[in-house]
Amino acid sequence: MRSRRHLPIITSVIILIIGTIVIFNFHSNWKAQEIPINNPMVTKITQDLAAIDLKSIIHEAEKTVIQIEGQNEQSTFTGSGFLYNEKGDIITNAHVIKDADAIYVRTANAQIYPAAVVGIGEDIDVAVIRVPQLASRTPLSIATEHIAEIGDEVIALGSPHGFQNTVTLGIISGSDRHFNVDGYNYSNVYQISAQISQGNSGGPLIKRETGEIIGINSVGTQDGTIGFSIPIVEVLDQITQWSNEAQNEQLEFSSITDLIRSSDSEQVLDGAVYLTEYFLENISIRDYVGAYTLLGSSLQLDSSYQEFRNRYINIVSLDFSEVDSTIIENNRIKTVVDITIERNVPNKQKTKKETKPYEFIIGYENDQLKILSYKEQAE
Task: Provide the strand spans (E) within the chain.
Answer: 65-71, 76-83, 89-92, 102-106, 112-120, 127-130, 153-158, 166-181, 184-192, 204-207, 213-220, 227-231, 315-320, 324-327, 333-344, 351-365, 368-376
- State the average pLDDT over residues 60-73: 87
209/11: higher pLDDT: 209
Q: What distance in Å separates the CA atoms of residue 103 and residue 277, rounded to the nearest whole number?
A: 25
Do 207 and 147 meet the contact criterion of CB atoms below 8 Å apart? no
For position 112, what pLDDT does the model report?
84
Are residues 126 and 161 part of one domain?
Answer: no
Q: What distance in Å separates the CA atoms of residue 70 and residue 162, rounded to the nearest whole number?
A: 12
Cβ within 8 Å of residue 80, ≥6 positions away = 65, 66, 67, 68, 92, 96, 157, 158, 159, 199, 200, 201, 202, 203, 217
Domain that holds residue 226: 152-233
Are residues 102 and 245 part of one domain?
Answer: yes
* Chain segment 350-379, per-residue pLDDT in tens: 899 999 999 999 998 877 789 999 998 765
Among 44-48, 184-188, 324-328, name the one with the lowest average pLDDT: 44-48
- Domains in the chain: how many in total? 3
- CATH code of the domain covering residue 156: 2.40.10.10
Are residues 182 and 111 part of one domain?
Answer: no
Among 98-112, 145-159, 251-265, 289-303, name the one with the lowest average pLDDT: 251-265
Q: What is the pTM of this model?
A: 0.69
Instruction: Tell me how long the chain is.
Output: 379
State percent of the chain over pLDDT 90: 43
Q: Which of 59, 80, 89, 95 is catalytic?
A: 95
Going by C-alpha positions, the residue among 365, 364, 339 that lies closest to residue 353 is: 339
Residue 36 belongs to a domain: no
* Chain segment 295-320, per-residue pLDDT in tens: 999 999 999 999 999 999 999 999 99
Among 33-37, 76-80, 90-94, 331-335, name the one with the lowest average pLDDT: 33-37
Burial (0-12, 13-18, 19+ Cβ within 10 Å), 234: middle
Q: Which of 159, 197, 201, 325 is catalytic?
A: 201
Among 165-169, 284-288, 350-354, name the one with the lowest average pLDDT: 165-169
For position 176, what pLDDT does the model report?
87
Q: What distance in Å separates the CA atoms of residue 86 and residue 337, rounded to the nearest whole number?
A: 36
Residue 30 belongs to a domain: no
Are residues 78 and 168 part of one domain?
Answer: no
Residue 25 belongs to a domain: no
Q: How confident is the model at residue 53 (pLDDT cuts 50, 70, 90)?
A: confident
Q: How confident is the model at residue 1 (pLDDT cuts 50, 70, 90)?
A: very low
For position 276, what pLDDT does the model report?
93
Do 194 and 169 meet the contact criterion of CB atoms below 8 Å apart? yes
Are residues 243 and 267 part of one domain?
Answer: no
Are residues 181 and 107 part of one domain?
Answer: no
Q: How confident is the model at residue 38 (pLDDT cuts 50, 70, 90)?
A: very low
* Chain segment 216-255, per-residue pLDDT in tens: 999 887 776 788 999 999 999 999 999 999 888 888 887 7
Residue 191 belongs to a domain: yes
- State the average pLDDT over residues 202-220: 91
196/231: higher pLDDT: 231
Q: What three-state secondary structure class fits 124?
A: coil
Q: Would you call 125 a catalytic residue per the annotation?
A: yes
| pLDDT tops 80 at residue 96 | yes
- State the average pLDDT over residues 257-280: 76
For position 257, what pLDDT does the model report?
61
Q: Provide the H-helix boundaries in 63-160.
A: 94-97
State percent of the chain over pLDDT 70: 81
Residue 53 belongs to a domain: no
Q: Would you call 95 a catalytic residue per the annotation?
A: yes
For position 131, what pLDDT does the model report?
94
Are residues 102 and 217 part of one domain?
Answer: no
Q: How confident is the model at residue 206 (pLDDT cuts 50, 70, 90)?
A: very high
| pLDDT tops 80 at residue 26 | no
| pLDDT tops 50 at residue 36 | no
Q: How confident is the model at residue 266 (pLDDT cuts 50, 70, 90)?
A: confident
Residue 92 belongs to a domain: yes
For position 41, what pLDDT does the model report?
43
Choosing from 250, 275, 290, the residue where a domain stops is 250
Q: Which of 89, 125, 152, 284 is catalytic?
A: 125
Are residues 164 and 89 part of one domain?
Answer: no
Residue 295 belongs to a domain: yes
Q: How confident is the model at residue 106 (pLDDT cuts 50, 70, 90)?
A: confident
Are residues 243 and 104 part of one domain?
Answer: yes
Are residues 340 and 215 part of one domain?
Answer: no
Residue 40 belongs to a domain: no
For position 23, what pLDDT does the model report?
52
Q: What distance in Å separates the CA atoms of residue 235 and residue 187, rounded to the nearest whole number?
A: 11
- The pLDDT mean for the chain works out to 82
Q: How confident is the model at residue 192 (pLDDT cuts 50, 70, 90)?
A: very high
